[in-house]
Amino acid sequence: MEPIIRTVDLCRDFPSGREIVHALKKVNISIKPGALTILRGRSGSGKTTLINLLGALDYPTSGDIYLMDQKISDLSERKRDEIRRTGMGFVFQSVALIGLMSAYENVEFALRIAGYDKKKRKERAEECLDFVGLANRMTHRPHELSGGEQQRVAIARAIAHNPKVLFADEPTAELDTQMGLQVLKVFRDLVTKEKLTVVMTTHDPNMMELADHVYTLEDGEIVEII
Binding site for ligand ATP (CB under 6 A): 14, 16, 21, 23, 41, 43-49, 203
Taking alpha carbons only, the member of 82, 25, 90, 22 closest to residue 54 is 90
Q: Is residue 150 a contact residue for Mg ion (CB under 5 A)?
A: no
CB of 216 to Mg ion, least distance (A): 14
- State the number of binding residues for Mg ion (CB under 5 A): 2
Which of ligand ATP, Mg ion, none sits in contact with 182, Cβ below 5 to 8 A by type? none
Write the burial class of residue 110 (CB in 10 Å: 0-12 exposed, 13-18 middle, 19+ buried). Answer: buried
Looking at the chain, which runs of residues are DSSP E strands?
A: 5-16, 19-27, 30-31, 36-40, 62-67, 70-71, 88-91, 165-169, 197-202, 213-218, 221-225
Shorter beta-carbon distance to ligand ATP: residue 140 or 203: 203
Strands, sheet with 221-225, edge to edge from the N-terminal-most edge strand: 88-91, 165-169, 197-202, 36-40, 213-218, 221-225
Which of Mg ion, ligand ATP, none sits in contact with 216, Cβ below 5 to 8 A by type? none
CA distance 49 to 224: 18
CB of 16 to ligand ATP, least distance (A): 5
Which of Mg ion, ligand ATP, none sits in contact with 41, Cβ below 5 to 8 A by type? ligand ATP
Which of ligand ATP, Mg ion, none sits in contact with 16, Cβ below 5 to 8 A by type? ligand ATP
Q: Is residue 48 a contact residue for Mg ion (CB under 5 A)?
A: yes
* Contacts with Mg ion, residue ranges (CB under 5 A): 47-48
